[in-house]
């Protein structure tokens, strides 16, 4: 019984059971379907929607009726676009981006749908209904729990993304407490400010990813760690793996 040859770095071939990897290289056909980093779109969508709504929550502008004006943009850019980014991240084999963009994109779609129902007088607004406040509180309990796990996972390779998720999880946790307990308004303002910070960091991270994609070099630092914990400072190689899956990179 013959075995496939082992993979080695930088084109070195090692015979296994009398076979040479050069045979497999010359008899392999590869079709590439590269995709841009989905988190560029996902983080921009999240940053825009979160900034507008969180600034309103923080009391920087508007009133209780403002969400009815914001929801179309937040639902499409923060919801649909971010959700699609999550599905494209699935294709890029980035589990963290798939979970975070998919979940928060779904949230913004649900939030927009809820605002439509409030405008149609089908459901009450959290501003006037304790039942609606409790419902929103439990929305954010679930969102916060998953986002905290995502923040820990993102720290493995991207400090900037982890900071986005840490501030997002913290703001969501405080919002959950604000709407579930009787101490709503003051905590809601605090949560709004934290979420504004998350939106700003998300904008920075998306900009760093887009600039790196355009110039093929890290322009803005994001704390992306390479092998053995050292920051990656060299341009991206066109071929990610010498053997196995040329041109294919897991993640973003």
Going from N- to C-terminal start, the domains of the chain cover 38-215
DSSP 243: S
Q: Which of 205, 152, 147 is nearest to 171 (CA)?
A: 147
Q: What are phi and psi of 231, to 5 degrees?
A: -60, 135
Considering Cα of 215, then 219, then 222, then 224, what sign does the dihedral take?
Answer: positive
Average of per-residue pLDDT across 36-64: 92
Higher pLDDT, residue 233 or 164: 164
Q: For the chain, give the percent of residues with pLDDT over 70.
A: 74
Q: What are phi and psi of 204, to 5 degrees?
A: -60, -45
Determine the Cα–Cα distance for residues 218 and 209; give it in Å rounded to an integer.
Answer: 8
Let me know: does 50 contact 75? Beta carbons within 8 Å. Answer: no
Q: Which of 178, 192, 181 is nearest to 67 (CA)?
A: 192
Is this structure's pTM higher than 0.75? yes
Q: For the chain, give the percent of residues with pLDDT over 90.
A: 56
Tens digits of per-residue pLDDT, 155-199? Answer: 887 899 999 999 999 999 999 999 998 766 789 999 999 999 999
Residue 239 in this model has a pLDDT that exceeds 50: no
Average of per-residue pLDDT across 216-234: 68
């Amino acid at each position: 019984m013959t075995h496939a040859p082992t993979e080695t770095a930088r084109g070195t071939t090692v015979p296994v059971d009398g076979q040479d990897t050069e045979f497999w290289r010359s008899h392999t056909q590869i079709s590439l379907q590269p995709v841009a980093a989905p988190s560029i779109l996902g983080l921009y969508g999240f940053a825009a929607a979160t900034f507008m709504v969180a600034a309103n929550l923080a009391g920087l502008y508007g009133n209780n009726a403002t969400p009815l004006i914001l929801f179309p943009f937040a639902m499409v850019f923060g919801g649909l676009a971010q959700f699609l980014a999550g599905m494209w991240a699935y294709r890029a084999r980035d589990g963290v981006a798939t979970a975070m963009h998919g979940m928060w994109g779904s949230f913004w779609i649900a939030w927009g749908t809820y605002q439509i129902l409030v405008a149609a007088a089908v459901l009450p607004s959290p501003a006037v209904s304790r039942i609606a406040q409790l419902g929103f509180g439990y929305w954010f309990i679930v969102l916060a729990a998953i986002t905290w796990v995502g923040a820990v996972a993102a720290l493995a390779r991207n400090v900037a993304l982890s900071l986005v998720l840490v501030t997002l999880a913290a703001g969501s946790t405080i919002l959950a407490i604000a709407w579930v307990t009787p101490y709503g308004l003051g905590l809601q303002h605090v949560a709004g400010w934290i979420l504004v910070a998350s939106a700003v960091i998300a904008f920075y991270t998306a900009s760093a990813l887009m600039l790196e994609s355009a110039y093929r070099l890290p322009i803005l630092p994001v704390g992306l760690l390479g092998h053995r914990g050292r920051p990656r400072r060299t341009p991206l190689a066109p071929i990610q793996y010498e053997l196995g899956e040329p041109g294919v990179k897991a993640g973003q």
